Amino acid sequence: MKITQNSPSLLKRFFTSSALALLVTGGFMVVTVSDASAQRSRKQAEAPQEGRQFSSKTGQIVLTAQEFMAADNYAAAIPELNKALALPDINPYERGVINQLLGSAYYEMNNYNAAINAFEGAIRSGGLLPNESSSLRVNIAQLLIASDQFARGAQMLEDWNRSGGQLKPAHIEMLWQAWSQAEQYSRALPWAERWFNSASPKERKHFDLLNFMYNNLNMPAKQADIVKQMINRWPEDKTLWDAWASMLANGGREQEAFEVSKMLYLGGAYKSQQELEKVVQYYSFYDMPFQAAQILEREMNAGRISQTPEKLVQLSDLLRQSREYKRAIPILEKAAASSGKPKLYADLGEALFNEGQCIKAETAFKKAMNLGFDQGKAWMLIANCRYDAAAAAERLKCSMSPEARKTAPWSAKRELAIAAFDNVPVSSREAGNARKWKTFIRAERSAVDNRCVFEKNVEKERCYLAIKQAYSNVVFAGGFILDEQCQSFVAKYDSLYRVKIGSDE
């Protein structure tokens, strides 16, 4: 199965099913000065208290900024926070907290790049506890993904996990989404499989995702397995069966794909013209033109396949491949009349030719030539039809007179064939074949004449021998006794031999 046009919409459905926004992890940490004091008291075991406090000057500016933020006036808060950062003697802890607040303000204003820079500045400050830096890295990763920096954000999230961060189900979903958006499907696959395996209950979207992944990574065996599972769950979904058949065909298993398509057709699942045409093509491809013709004719009669000249031609071709020439003729007549194409009249002539209807075939071929069909090819077919009719005529007999042999159907029809071969233009590619045919037909006539001469000579020699024996037996037989068949040769024999004998005596 090849997913092409449907891929973007499928992927979009995946990404909109669960938010890629930062709310996945419950939002960002917005740190206040009082929050910092509380964190300091809770984390005494993790880091020394020294330096984890605000000076009065810095604290006053930050409190003003927080008041703006509490009133959702982030545009006013940002200059205050930048003013605090510009103070010459702020400590690492103050720098870390101020950058966190600045990043939160930028985030609320949808300025993700600025928010990322601020959060990275908080980590670089050296004033945060390990768990605080870890939380910020997750936020940065999410922001990178939300700002379309998919690969960078996913890589950062993976690095955070390898450093000991615990991934939540939403993080796993975010990872396969981000790598997929970056079109790095091999990086997305492990997370997609993990997301699939952990899902309970599994929904259609989970199966669709793995089907999408395996298709893009050209993993037909795994794709086949997931599609089989999907068919077992949703057997009424025809698109899955179509996908299965397409996947089999693309995997070199055309016969199995044909069987699936045949089953769907016989089960009434195929309704559209495109689907029905595919079934016809399958039957034709597997050397079953008669069955293909039956389906095509049935569906055209039912109106589910349009009865266009092209489809009529296809039907007639299938019938001719099945050697059903008689059934093909009326269909070709209809197609030729409706389209007026010379090729169709030529095809009609050929079908009539195969049925031995030479007169009608000539009419069709002549219509084809009048419409511009190749005259050399048309006259060759007319000539061949005439010759085939001549070949079926009664053979000439040597007992016939030369005039009778010349006017007999056997000879007359061959002369008509020669006349047709004469009409093949000398410039045609068929001209050489036409000359060979004329030579062959004339040789046939000469062979008949030669055979009759030979047969006449054989009879004469036999009778001459009988006459000689009859003369030799006159004394013993009491007279000249000779078969009636040889009586006509006596005079000639006597003129040649008896006269000479008499003169010698």
pLDDT of 390 higher than 60: yes
Determine contact, residues 119/151, Cβ cutoff 8 Å: no
What is the pLDDT confidence band of residue 35, given thresholds at 50, 70 and 90? Answer: very low
Q: Which of 407, 345, 427, 419 is nearest to 378 (CA)?
A: 345
> How high does pLDDT run on average in the chain?
81
Region class of 98: left (phi > 0), else alpha (psi between -120 and 50), else beta: alpha
Determine contact, residues 87/108, Cβ cutoff 8 Å: no
How do the domains of the chain map onto residue ranges? 31-147, 390-504
CA 342/CA 213 separation, integer angstroms: 51
Determine contact, residues 18/170, Cβ cutoff 8 Å: yes
pLDDT of 32 higher than 60: no
**CB within 8 A of 277, min separation 6: which ones?**
305
Count CB neighbours of 442 within 10 A.
12
**Residue % of the chain over a pLDDT of 70:** 87
Task: Check residue 500 and give its pLDDT.
Answer: 55
Determine contact, residues 106/78, Cβ cutoff 8 Å: yes
**234: its two tokens:** 């949703």
CATH 3.30.420.40 assigned to 31-147:
no
Opening angle at CA 503, ends 497 and 504, nearest 5 = 90
**140: its two tokens:** 């940065």
CA 128/CA 52 separation, integer angstroms: 9
What is the pLDDT confidence band of residue 16, given thresholds at 50, 70 and 90? Answer: very low
Task: Check residue 51 and give its pLDDT.
Answer: 61
Task: Check residue 157 and give its pLDDT.
Answer: 92
pLDDT of 27 higher than 50: no
**408: its two tokens:** 């007999």
Read off the pLDDT of residues 44-85 as tens digits, 9 standing for 90 and up.
334 434 567 888 888 899 999 999 999 999 999 999 999 999
Read off the pLDDT of residues 135-176 as tens digits, 9 standing for 90 and up.
888 889 989 988 889 999 999 999 999 888 888 999 999 999
Three-class DSSP category at 296: helix
**CB within 8 A of 299, min separation 6: which ones?**
276, 280, 305
